[in-house]
Every structure is written in structure tokens, then in C-alpha cells.
Copies of this chain bind each other. A is one copy, B any other.
């Protein structure tokens, strides 16, 4: 970041690459976040103590304060991180949807569910964190999560508007439908996590999610006509 030339004083190349101070700090910060994500798995963030986190990371309790000033603010950082990965997933879903926005609903649904399952598998800690702390975290964390989910719903609504057959929907319809979809996808994520390594169960859950998503879409497409 500085304008100076090579700031590294290491002359020979065999030194194990001395860590810079900010790198080291970032590494510890990550370790704290990971430890908290891990520990909150039993029960919830509310059940996690600063001392537990410190012990898990391998620092002394007071060292925690160099990075966060409370478990709650740590929680808010985890919310940011979790939704960053969730947004990455939504971007993946969107990308495919846009490249062929015409026609086959079924394939869009299939793809969306597959992307969801993929991300849940790789980032299940984040999804689990959201699902859990949404209902049970510290108040500030709960509110942050609700807010983020609201944003996701609005994003999804905007996406839905690009699909064919949705011209008759009111803005209320869009809101309802994306709320319904987000809700059931959160539930799917929870179920996938609960299923753990049981691949058969996972596939069953994905199949159910596909069906449910199709039902919702079919219902949404028909419902204006059938009230």
C-alpha cells in the first residue's frame, strides 16, 4: 500500500515469509470469527462466552478486546460475513436465470435448488448461523438479520419481475411471492443442515424443495385467475 519499493527486508528466499502485523491480526480475527461460528453451533451465540472463544482461539481473554468489544459486535460481523456468502449464492442463481430468461421454469427451479444445496453444503456454517440467530441471537443481531433478509426478498422480487408470465402481478404479489420463496428456502437450508452427511436424506430434501418451489411458482402464475 505504501509507495516505497520492496518493504520486505528478507534477502534470501528460503525464509518462511515473516507475517506482517496486519496479516497476523487478520488471522487472529478470522480465528475468532471461526471459533464463534463453531461454538454458537451448540445452542446459540447468546450461549457463547468471550472466554470460551478466547480459549478456543488460543489467546488470553483480554486479547479478545483487540478485535471486538463484545460478543454482540462479533455477532454483527458474522451477520455481514454470512450474508456476503448468501448474496454470492443469489448472484449465482441470478446469473443463470438471466442467461436464458425465456421458457423452462422447471430448469430454472432445478438449477436454483442445486445452487442452494451447493452453497449450503460449502457454507453451511453461515446458513446455520443466520437461521439460528435470526430467532435467538442478541437483539441487535436479530434485527440485523431481519433487515438483511428483507433486502434479499426485495432483490428476489426484482428478479422475478424479469421472468415471463409475471406481468399481471401487483407489487404486493411480488412481495408475497418472494417472501414465500425466501421463507421456504431458509427452511430448506435448515433441513439440509439437520440432515448432515446423509446423502440420501439430502437428495430427498432437495427434491422436496424443487417440488415446493415449483408449486409456489405454478400457484403464483395461476392464482390471479383463480381467486
Measured CB to CB, the residues of A under 8 A from B are 42-44, 46-47, 106, 131-139, 146, 172-173, 175-177, 179-180, 183-184, 187, 190, 194, 208, 211-212, 214-220, 222-223, 226-227
Contact = CB atoms under 8 A, between A and B. Distances in A.
B216 A216 contact: yes
A218 B223 contact: yes
Contact of A212 (B42, B176, B194, B218): B176
- The DSSP consensus for interface residues of chain A is helix
B176 A211 contact: yes
A91 to B, nearest CB: 24
B214 A223 contact: yes
Contacts of A138: 43
Contacts of A139: 42-43
Given A43-B136, A43-B137, A136-B44, A219 B208 contact: no
A215 B137 contact: no
Contacts of A214: 219, 223, 227
Nearest to A215: B219
A173 B135 CA distance: 29
A120 to B, nearest CB: 15
B43 A43 contact: no
